[in-house]
Amino acid sequence: MTKANDVRDMSDEQIHERVGELREELFRLRFRASMMELENPQLPKTIRRDIARMKTILRERELAGGAA
């Protein structure tokens, strides 16, 4: 689980890379879940929330940059 403060310390490029990695991981988890049961069924939910948290911080930065 990624904390918001940790994400804020990352650059925009790092956040975009991490979001891409998490999307790939989420895809693999969904595929694996269709074939068999997941060890941790809460993991896809956690990954989705991490992606949303990162996208929210990117949007905050975008809005703050536009206002300046």
Domain limits, the chain? 4-67
The DSSP call for residue 35 is: H
Closest CA to 58 of 12, 3, 10, 4: 12
Q: What is the pTM of this model?
A: 0.87
CATH number for the 4-67 domain, one of 3.30.450, 2.60.40, 1.10.287, 3.30.70? 1.10.287
Structure confidence by residue, pLDDT tens digits, 5-55: 999 999 999 999 999 999 999 999 999 998 888 889 999 999 999 999 999
* Confidence (pLDDT) at 22: 97
Residue 1 pLDDT grade (very low, low, confident, very high; cuts 50, 70, 90): low
Q: What is the pLDDT of residue 68?
A: 56
| pLDDT score of 44 | 95
